[in-house]
Amino acid sequence: MKTNDKIIQLLKIQGELTAKRLAQELGLTTMGIRQHLQALEESGEVVFEDKKAPRGRPTRYWSLTPKSNNRFDDRHEELTVQLIDSVKSIFGEQGLDQLIAHREATSLANYQIALADKFTIQDKLTALAKLRSDEGYMAKVIEDNGLFWLIENHCPICAAASKCLSFCRSELALFQSLLADVADISREEHIIEGARRCAYKVTPK
């Protein structure tokens, strides 16, 4: 993988980072990283923000722009949007709701099979994150002071979700059903609303 691609991956997963931190992560010099960041800035894929530091000069943080999404799987977004419009045109909103409900039920059944031998919240979430990552969501689990977070750093169905928010409601309902016996789940960050990622707070019951 090229250095520019590695930088894009790190910024996608970890959020804004300094050139120094990127250099540490990739085992390169800070000067070398700055050259790559300059190229990515010129291509419109990254931007920087200088933030006031406790002492000394401001610290420069780099983050991705929407243009960088072209580097990630989009699941043929143009075709997806066209299909959604066609379903709504032919079958109406009710038909689209039925389609989404069927997708949710199918996903729930498949996920339940995969989690059948998982009993702790940690094990269930780890298995779920693996399933979601396999589907392109770049998912991971974080434990924080007794709470868990399911983080999804990419949305491979972003075009469909932007066109029809029922896809997002369906995915939240899917997670809630899947872990209903062990945890309460709420979505605290949402890509569709402008966040860098989708973040689900998982509170043990």
Same domain, 135 and 54: no
Cα–Cα distance list, 1 to 7, 8, 9, 26 (Å)? 10, 11, 10, 12
End residue of a domain, out of 71, 96, 113? 71
Tens-digit pLDDT string for the chain (205 aa): 899 999 999 999 999 999 999 999 999 999 999 999 999 999 999 999 999 988 888 999 999 998 898 787 655 667 778 888 898 899 998 999 999 999 999 999 999 999 999 999 999 999 999 999 999 999 999 999 999 999 999 988 887 888 888 899 999 999 999 999 999 999 999 998 989 999 999 999 9
Co-location of 102 and 186 in the same domain: yes
CA–CA dist 28, 19 (Å, integer): 10
Q: How far from 48 is each of 21, 30, 52, 97, 166, CA to CA, in Å?
A: 14, 15, 13, 41, 34
- Do 122 and 91 lie in one domain? The reply is yes
Domain interval for residue 164: 77-204
**Claim: this prediction has a pTM higher than 0.75:** no
In the structure encoding, which two tokens stand for residue 62, read together?
A: 């780099």
d(CA 166, CA 10): 30
Is residue 67 located within the same domain as residue 96? Answer: no
CATH code, domain with 42 = 1.10.10.10
Question: How many Cα atoms occupy the beta-carbon half-sphere of 6 within 13 Å?
Answer: 14
Q: Cβ of 183: how many Cβ atoms within 10 Å?
A: 20
Whether residues 43 and 135 fall in one domain = no
Does residue 178 share a domain with residue 196? yes
Residue 160 pLDDT: 82
116 and 195 inside one domain: yes
Cβ–Cβ < 8 Å for 83, 90: no
Structural domain total, the chain: 2
**123 and 138 co-located in one domain:** yes
The answer on 93 and 37 residing in a single domain is no
Q: Which of 71, 98, 115 is the last residue of a domain?
A: 71
